[in-house]
């Protein structure tokens, strides 16, 4: 089965997976920030590679990307992308500094950002695990601060070995009225999204 065979029911189930995972992560983020964090309705993006660079408000937008391999019963990647100023605030709060203090990237602040990635992806995946009954665990996080396009291409390249399209379950985090502060991407490989759908009885 390839991506084009997914029907609207399958897509709704995948959206719900994004909803539950990201909902849990948004709660964790709100606790870290001590602020209300909302999320948009998750989107299932099935794209050709030429479109991948255009998501996240443009390929050249500087962002903080935290990438983890997903291990256990499913495999793929989870990518948490933070707007730079949101990353700044998060780190300052974790380091007990003023939220708007300028952030210097060094070993300590970078490892603090990775820890944020750990906490949020951990809560996303544990919700997913509880929902599906599958064993899903995150690997050690890796971090990059660079152009959004260059960061998003990393999971896409993995897809490139087997398919010509890539499936992202994307959920945007919003603070205040409409300010996007982060973006969560679950990128399961082909076998894994079938397994996810199957575990929820959506394949029969």
Partner 1 sequence: MTDNIIKVGMADVNFTKHPGVLVTLGLGSCVGIALYDKKMKMIGLAHIMLPWSHQAKNNANRAKFADTGIMLLLEKMSEAGASVNNMVAKLAGGAQMFTFSGSSDMIRIGQRNVEATKAVLQQLNIPVISEDTGGNYGRTIEFFSEDGRLMIKTIGHGIKYI
In 84-191, DSSP assigns E strands to 136-138, 142-147, 165-175, 179-188
Max CA pair span of the chain: 53
Q: Residue 89 in contact with residue 99, Cβ under 8 Å? A: yes
Contacting range for partner 1; rule: CB under 8 A; set: 14-22, 54-62, 119-127, 171-179: 54-62
Is residue 57 a contact point for partner 1 (CB under 8 A)? Answer: no
Is residue 138 a contact point for partner 1 (CB under 8 A)? Answer: no
> Closest approach of Cβ 201 to partner 1, in Å?
29
Closest by Cα among 132, 147, 146 to 186: 132
End-to-end CA distance of the chain: 13
Measured CA to CA in angstroms, residue 23 lies from 5, 42, 101, 123, 169 at distances of: 28, 10, 28, 9, 13
Residue whose entry in the numeric block shows the structure tokens 């398919």: 163
> Closest approach of Cβ 85 to partner 1, in Å?
15
Comparing CB distances to partner 1, the nearer of 41 and 140 is 140
Is residue 46 a contact point for partner 1 (CB under 8 A)? Answer: no
Which parts of 65-84 interact with partner 1 (CB under 8 A)? 65, 67, 69
Is residue 148 a contact point for partner 1 (CB under 8 A)? Answer: yes
Contacting range for partner 1; rule: CB under 8 A; set: 6-14, 29-37, 52-60, 195-203: 52-60
Task: Catalog residues that contact partner 1 under the rule CB under 8 A.
Answer: 48-53, 58-60, 62, 65, 67, 69, 139-140, 142-154, 156-158, 160-164
């Amino acid at each position: 089965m390839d991506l084009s065979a997914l029907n609207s029911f399958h897509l709704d189930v995948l959206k719900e997976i994004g909803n539950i995972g990201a909902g849990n992560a948004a709660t964790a983020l709100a606790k870290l920030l001590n602020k209300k964090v909302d999320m948009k309705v998750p989107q299932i993006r099935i794209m050709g590679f030429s479109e991948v660079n255009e998501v996240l408000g443009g390929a050249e937008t500087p962002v903080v990307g935290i990438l983890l391999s997903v291990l256990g019963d499913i495999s793929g990647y989870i990518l948490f992308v933070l707007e730079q100023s949101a990353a700044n605030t998060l780190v300052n709060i974790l380091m007990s500094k003023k939220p708007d203090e300028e952030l210097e990237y060094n070993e300590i602040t970078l490892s603090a950002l990775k820890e944020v990635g750990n906490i949020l992806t951990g809560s996303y995946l544990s919700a997913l695990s509880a929902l599906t009954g599958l064993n899903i665990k995150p690997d050690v996080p890796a971090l990059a601060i660079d152009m959004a396009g260059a960061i998003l291409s990393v999971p896409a390249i993995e897809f490139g070995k087997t398919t010509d399209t890539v499936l992202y379950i994307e959920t945007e985090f919003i603070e205040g009225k409409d300010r996007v502060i982060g973006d969560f991407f679950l990128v399961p490989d082909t076998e894994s999204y079938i397994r996810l759908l199957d575990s929820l009885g959506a394949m029969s």
